[in-house]
A and B are shown apart, each in its own frame.
Chain A
């Protein structure tokens, strides 16, 4: 019994000694600043990636960006306050249509203003839905949001003149600003706009979840009654969490419309909402890294499956359906063998490697 303990002490001692002075300087920075620094670092990494890859990859990187933002918002909701929403795609749709309408009807506004307006619109929509569903819990909330996800696209058909019916809306957004022309392509510029918004959004989400609101949400997730007795305003906190999540979703939808230049009701199906939630759990629910793995999974599993279908020379029906089947199979396998998702699996792998090295 005594020998392993001694070994463990020996192992941790040097790392601690080396690690203590470093985080202390980092730790004195206020949290929002720390998150902003990390956000800037993330943006730098993405920019570097954009320069070494081509135009096609730029679009994929942009897709990973807005998908990650949407999932990170969902993560705050599901992982934070424990509310399971199956209607996240609905908020993406609201953001996307808001972006399209703004570009079509107020073409003078810069993209930053559009994104700002989308934030306001999403907050209002989130407040409306969040307040209406505040009393629902568990599967009842899931059911209500599921209906939202299925029902909302119907609006595009009902208000055909404004929203364009099943053909949706097509928009043209401004390309590269003059001073950068020749330096970056349009796709790269769009990816940069997306990622700038995304990292700011992620920094805000990270700051919220490590602050008082985040603690309150986790208290509610763990035990609603106990949290209420400890003085946490349960209803208000749940609505706020819902609003934050919908804002992230709306912003993500706006960015998607900006990148793709088209908005149709058929891109916001139930499958999108379900995929977002499923990918979140697959990536790992406890950390923003999980949201990144989830976004990469959504974007790249689709691409790989399509390539695979082409390589296998399948029929058209098979080719169209392979991505969704592939995603489902990966999802089931990941959850079967890594209950904590990809992030959880990576963490335990790291812990095992560290244990072996020392």
Chain B
């Protein structure tokens, strides 16, 4: 763990109506980190990501990205600061083509490096290259997830937030996506926060894990440690 965390969440609290979905959550993600956020349904994982990117308003607490406070920024500003968020289900726009979906991810960038990023992303996901002019609605579930990740990468983010990329995918495809995330981190130094229900799979590729329970951080530690800790596993992760 390096000294200065890239993404620092400090005492974050958020509500859905009267329900406290996040309760004083604090966690740090180091640069080049690959972290898993785990927990049961309704533990607050999705709310955590949505609050980070401003889709949901925090009641209190702070989110710092490279030491800068981004808690109150509107979503579209947060994105330009370097946070990319792949929502649950991917959020692929099926009315657009594959290429349009990808281009959308980098539209806000003024630089002209888009072409190289675009080529890199297509290289990363060969199925997308094959279908780049087809409507995104023709893609399979796994390909849509790839497209969603590809669109997020088009923004050249500092931190990539992923909400349950394995949802509804076959185990083999899930494994491929997980491996890809790990390679990506190793090769490019991208920081990744992976929200997952599939705890075993997520812990096997990440280096650090946080376990949420009823909106609070119930446990945290190196992934292999969490994997080995029977008590945490039985209590929160259900395997």
Direct contact of A and B (CB under 8 A): no
Which B positions have Cβ atoms within 8 angstroms of A?
Answer: none
Which A positions have Cβ atoms within 8 angstroms of B?
Answer: none
